[in-house]
Every structure is written in C-alpha cells, then in structure tokens.
A and B are shown apart, each in its own frame.
Chain A
Amino acid sequence: MSTPDNCANCPAHHKANLVKLGVNLDNVDYLITLAGNPNTGKSTVFNNLTGLRQHTGNWPGKTVARAEGGFIYNEKRYKVVDLPGTYSLLSTSTDEEVARDFILFGRPDVTLIVVDATRLERNLNLVLQILELTDRAVLCLNLMDEAKRNNLEIDTRALSKELGIPVIPASARRKLGMSELLQAIEEVATGKYVCKPPKIKSRSRKLNHAIETLSNKLLESYPGLPNASWVAMRLLEGDNSIIEAVRTGEIGNLHEEDVTT
C-alpha cells in the first residue's frame, strides 16, 4: 500500500495530504468520475490519482470495463471511477451508454473531464455534452507540454469563465498539475466552488421550442429537476433508458436524492 512518504521521488505532488488508496474503497466521502475522449491521457490521470496501474493504450477504446480506485485527500476519502473514453455521449454505442448512465444515474460528486490541450476544439464537443448532464465538473487540460511544443497558447481563465467550471492545466505523464487538480476537485466536491456551466442553444427555432415545451412539462411534474432540458432532448432522441426513467418516475428520484445529499 502506498504511503505519503514514498512519494518523495515524484516531484509534482509530494503533498503530504494525498494518500493513494488503490482499490481499497470502503466508506468513501466523495465519488469522482473520470470522463474524456480516447487518447487524452485519462488513464494516466487515473493512475496518478489512485496509484493503480491501469493500462493506457495509445488506441481508442482501451478501457472497456469500468476501472475503480481511490485516494484520500485532506482526510476525505474519494472513490474514482474511470469511464470508457468516448467522442460523444449522444450515440448508441455501449461505451457511450455506460458513460452517460454513470454520469446521470451514478450521481458523481465531481466529474473530472480530461481533455487534450492540443485538440481543445474537438474535445469541447464532449465537454459541453457532459456539462448538459451535470453541473459539478472540473476540466483537466492535459498534455500541456505537447501544446507548448505545438506553440499553442490557451487562456485557461477565459476558458474557465466560458465553461463555468475550474480549468486546470496539467501534464499527467510528467505528473505536473496534479496538486492543483486535487484542490479543484475538493473545492467542487465540498461546494466551495459553485459551477455555472452554460446551456447549449441551438440555431433551429423548431428544436428550441420543442425542448422548451417538453422541459416545462417535465418541470411541472418534477419541480427542481436539475437537467430538465437535457432530459427533454434525450426524450426527443428516443433514448430508452431515459424514457424508462420517465415512465417509472425514477427521473424524479434523481432530484429528491440530490436534495438529501
């Protein structure tokens, strides 16, 4: 089992307040989930946080099963669930369903989105989709070293303002930026940082109207439903797990249990 002391040889986060827990996951205080495109170094971030060694292939679709791990930071126990890397959450592949259902029904306290800084625009597609699902997220701007080599400059403060969530530049392979990342996770998990992500506006008036009508109907039945417009959109897409959740009324529980936690 790792202890804080043997971290002396990893310069970036020899923080005495981080204990990697590996797979020892009893009595956790917060649930973190890791999402991101394939090939963004998501698994490396996961390994850095938990001290596990999940294989990180330079190949999309590596993480097929869900990997879990944990760590202790500032005396709080965190459980980390690594989701399959996907380009989107809107299609019908199994990987995407797993990721979508976990973010929605698993109700993580923080969703850590790992993106490739050199391909920010491509990655933002998934980020915006995730922010439709959940408010509590942290963006890990990974591969910053590669971005520098590419002469890319990223205004992280402006990005954080646009997305309404903390944005942390990092280089997970060299273990840079991990302590800032942990701090941001803690702030969002404890509610010290209140995320205010934007909602996607579509150009099509017909579509906006349909979403609005439906989400109003949803809010009538389940006042305070946190992501009503997203649920409305999924209903229009014919997503079966959401239709079932609406049919059985489970969708309402989402909200009620949110209030109690």
Chain B
Amino acid sequence: MLPLLQIQPGILLLIGLAVTTLLFWFFWPMNGGLALITKLIRNNKRALLEDALKYIFDCEYNKTSCNINSLAGHLNIAMDKATQLLNRLTTLELVTLNNQSVALTDDGRSYALRIVRIHRIWERYLADQTSVAPADWHHEADRIEHVVSKEETERLAAQMGNPVFDPHGDPIPTAEGQLPKHRGVRLNTLQEGEMGRITHLEDEPRSIYEQLVVLDLYPGMQVYVTDVTDKKITFVAHGEECILTPLFAGYITVEKLSKEETQAPKQELLSSLKIGENAEVLGISPNCRGSQRRRLMDLGIVPGSKVSAVIKSASGDPVGYRILGTTIGIRKQHADQVFINRKN
C-alpha cells in the first residue's frame, strides 16, 4: 500500500487537525497569517510622516501652537526620531521650521488635507455601512488612511453621496481641499438652562472618546444643561441625565440652540409598541445612519406618520408594523432607533 495509508489513523488524524487549524488561521481575515504578512509589508515610514502632517494640520485648524515636543508626544516617539522626522518633512518642503514652532507649507497643507479627507470618509463609511463598533472607527480609519489609494476613497465617497461630515461631526475636506471654518462652542462653556446640539466629539485621546461613547453621546443629539459647578456639568441628553467633569465636557463641541428648535426630551421607542397598539412617529435617532436611515424614511417612517404594530414573527423578532397602508417587517435593533408617541 501507499505510504500515506501506512501511518496510524490516529496520527494521521492529528496531522489533519493541525493542517486544518493552520489553514483556518492563515486565511482568517482579521488577524490571520495572511493579514499579518500584509501588515508587516506595509510601509511604516509613510504612516509616521502622514500622521505628523495630520497633527500639524490639526494644530493649525484649531489655532493651537505646535512644536517638536508636542509632536513627539503626540506620535509617541523619541525626541531624536521626531527631529529626524521634521528634518525629512522640511527637505520634502512640506513644513517650515521657525525657531521652535512648526508650520505647514502649501504643499504640506494640501497633503494633510488629502489624508484628513481619506480618514474622515472612511470613518463615515465604517459608521454608516459596517458593524464596526463606534470606539474603533477612528482607530480603524487611522490604519486604513495610509494604505488606501485616493481613487478608491473617491469611489467610496461617490457611492455614499459625497458626505460632508464624518460621524464625529467633523467636516470632510472636499477633493479640492476646501474646508469650512471651525465652528461651535465647547460644552463646558454652556450656562445652566442653555440648550445645544452636539456637533462634534473629539476622537482623541482614545480613552476619553471611549468614555463619551459609553455614555451614548453622538453628534446630532440635543443636550440641555441643568447644573454647572466647578467640578461637574450636569446635562440631559435624550431623557437621560449625564454628568461630566469640565475637562471631559471640553472634548464635546455643541451648537447653541434657541428654544423653538428643541424637541420633547423624553421619548418612547417603536420597539416598545405591543401588537395592536398605535403610535405617531416622532423621528429617527441620529445614531441610525446611512442606508438604513434612508430606507426607513422611504418606507414612511417620518415625523407625523401613524404606525401600528400588527404581527409578530413566529420566531419573535421582526415585528410587522402597519405604516401608510403597508405591513413592513422591521428588526428590533432598528425599531430601537425610532422614537414614537404612543396613541390609543
């Protein structure tokens, strides 16, 4: 007989098991062998250079000063490496050095804007069209921005309808490099009794951003400040009371609202509607984005429309809602995003 069959079945079985496991590991997309190899091949030098440009651009945009110390701190590299990096940037004529402060040249600025555009478009994509967790959007986009091509990003932008804001509320520069002026005020400058709409959550440092995500805060959300002291700011967002230190609140940018623009603070969810009950739609949570939001609106889920829960799937999950004369099955996870006003 042939050699392969002369091996004991038990041993062959173990070999087979090992080969199968290896195969799975190698092709597993997230951190499998193939993914690790591609990760190693990637050019780290380019990533560092682009991150530096982005940082200097951020300083310029927020009108804060930027020097070699803060750069080294931000990129988490040693001083001599930061000096090398800056020297390289100056020889490439991307930045100019004036004593201690660093400034972008026109070329440097347009390079930085290109990276910012790629970064924010991918964040938008990750938020709208994937199941990637909110705390990972920024991190993931940071990785992608150095590897994707401009063309690929433009295709993505076109397919998403050329978005103008990223999911944190930051404006996305146009392909030609236009960017609007910085707007809004910090949440910690709001007084007691004032209302605002969140326009931006600072996504760096990550530890603070994760805290804000845990509190379920997102751009588009309305806040009502109830109490301000030196140590904490208390505000109501979507019916829930939140307390933040002024430091944390400083990472949230809001647009002040006048009284007429505001909605009722406490709302019920469509998913809480029982079979046979009726309600009026108040709106869709700003947290529901992209194609899912549009689809819900196309089906008639807009403020003012009447909806009633009519049937429940045999397995319990999608519930059939009667909206404008048609029964539409909606999953609970999406019904959770619709605010209603119960009617009887």
Which residues of A are interface residues toward B (Cβ below 8 A)? 87-88, 90-93, 118-119, 121-122, 125, 237-240, 243
Which of chain A's residues have a CB closer than 8 A to the CB of B324? 119, 121-122
A87 near B299: Cβ-Cβ < 8 Å: yes
Please judge, given known A-B contacts A87-B299, A91-B291, A91-B295, whether A238 and B325 are in contact too, CB under 8 Å. Answer: no
What is the CA–CA distance of A79 and B215 in the complex, to the nearest angstrom?
A: 58
Which of chain A's residues have a CB closer than 8 A to the CB of B160? 92
Question: Separation in Å of the B90 CB from the closest CB of chain A?
Answer: 36
User: Which of B291, B299, B323 sits near A92, CB closer than 8 Å?
Assistant: B291
A89 to chain B: closest residue by CB: B298
B291 near A119: Cβ-Cβ < 8 Å: no
Which of chain A's residues have a CB closer than 8 A to the CB of B298? 87-88, 90-91, 125
A243 near B325: Cβ-Cβ < 8 Å: no
Which residues of B are interface residues toward A (Cβ below 8 A)? 158-164, 291, 294-295, 297-300, 323-326
A243 to chain B: closest residue by CB: B162
Which of chain A's residues have a CB closer than 8 A to the CB of B295? 91
What is the CA–CA distance of A90 and B163 in the complex, to the nearest angstrom?
A: 14
Question: Separation in Å of the A231 CB from the closest CB of chain B?
Answer: 15
Which of chain A's residues have a CB closer than 8 A to the CB of B294? 88, 90-92
What is the CA–CA distance of A229 and B158 in the complex, to the nearest angstrom?
A: 21
A238 near B164: Cβ-Cβ < 8 Å: yes
Please judge, given known A-B contacts A87-B298, A91-B295, whether A239 and B161 are in contact too, CB under 8 Å. Answer: yes
A122 near B161: Cβ-Cβ < 8 Å: no
Which of chain B's residues have a CB closer than 8 A to the CB of A87? 298-299
Which of chain A's residues have a CB closer than 8 A to the CB of B164? 238
Question: Separation in Å of the A37 CB from the closest CB of chain B?
Answer: 9
User: Which of A118, A125, A238 sits near B163, CB closer than 8 Å?
Assistant: A238
Question: Separation in Å of the B256 CB from the closest CB of chain A?
Answer: 16
User: Which of B159, B161, B291, B326 sits near A237, CB closer than 8 Å?
Assistant: B161
Question: Separation in Å of the A204 CB from the closest CB of chain B?
Answer: 11
What is the CA–CA distance of A238 and B172 in the complex, to the nearest angstrom?
A: 13
Question: Separation in Å of the B65 CB from the closest CB of chain A?
Answer: 35
What is the CA–CA distance of A240 and B156 in the complex, to the nearest angstrom?
A: 11
A122 near B162: Cβ-Cβ < 8 Å: no
26 contacts between A and B (CB under 8 A): A87-B298, A87-B299, A88-B297, A90-B294, A90-B298, A91-B294, A91-B295, A91-B298, A92-B161, A92-B291, A92-B294, A93-B291, A118-B325, A119-B324, A119-B325, A121-B324, A122-B300, A122-B323, A122-B325, A238-B161, A238-B163, A238-B164, A240-B158, A240-B159, A240-B161, A243-B162
B162 near A240: Cβ-Cβ < 8 Å: yes
What is the CA–CA distance of A239 and B158 in the complex, to the nearest angstrom?
A: 7
Question: Separation in Å of the B178 CB from the closest CB of chain A?
Answer: 14
- A-B contacts besides A91-B294, A125-B298, A243-B162, 12 pairs, CB < 8 Å: A90-B294, A90-B298, A91-B291, A91-B295, A92-B291, A121-B325, A122-B323, A122-B326, A238-B162, A240-B159, A240-B161, A240-B162
Question: Separation in Å of the A63 CB from the closest CB of chain B?
Answer: 17
Question: Separation in Å of the B212 CB from the closest CB of chain A?
Answer: 28
Which of chain A's residues have a CB closer than 8 A to the CB of B323? 122
Most chain A Cβ neighbours within 10 Å, of B160, B163, B298, B300: B298
Question: Separation in Å of the B283 CB from the closest CB of chain A?
Answer: 14
Which of chain A's residues have a CB closer than 8 A to the CB of B326? 119, 122
Question: Separation in Å of the B262 CB from the closest CB of chain A?
Answer: 15
A92 near B159: Cβ-Cβ < 8 Å: yes
B155 to chain A: closest residue by CB: A240
Question: Separation in Å of the A143 CB from the closest CB of chain B?
Answer: 11
Question: Separation in Å of the A130 CB from the closest CB of chain B?
Answer: 14
Question: Separation in Å of the A114 CB from the closest CB of chain B?
Answer: 16
What is the CA–CA distance of A93 and B299 in the complex, to the nearest angstrom?
A: 14
What is the CA–CA distance of A87 and B164 in the complex, to the nearest angstrom?
A: 25
Which of chain B's residues have a CB closer than 8 A to the CB of A121? 324-325
What is the CA–CA distance of A88 and B300 in the complex, to the nearest angstrom?
A: 10
Question: Separation in Å of the A151 CB from the closest CB of chain B?
Answer: 13
What is the CA–CA distance of A123 and B323 in the complex, to the nearest angstrom?
A: 12
What is the CA–CA distance of A237 and B163 in the complex, to the nearest angstrom?
A: 8
Which of chain B's residues have a CB closer than 8 A to the CB of A91? 291, 294-295, 298
Question: Separation in Å of the B128 CB from the closest CB of chain A?
Answer: 10
Question: Separation in Å of the A58 CB from the closest CB of chain B?
Answer: 13
What is the CA–CA distance of A125 and B305 in the complex, to the nearest angstrom?
A: 13
What is the CA–CA distance of A125 and B159 in the complex, to the nearest angstrom?
A: 23
Can you list the 8 inter-chain pairs with the closest CB atoms, starting with the nearest? A238-B162, A240-B158, A122-B324, A119-B325, A87-B298, A88-B298, A238-B161, A91-B294
Which of chain A's residues have a CB closer than 8 A to the CB of B163? 238
B161 to chain A: closest residue by CB: A238
Which of chain A's residues have a CB closer than 8 A to the CB of B158? 240
Which of chain B's residues have a CB closer than 8 A to the CB of A239? 161
A241 to chain B: closest residue by CB: B158
A125 near B300: Cβ-Cβ < 8 Å: yes
Question: Separation in Å of the B237 CB from the closest CB of chain A?
Answer: 23
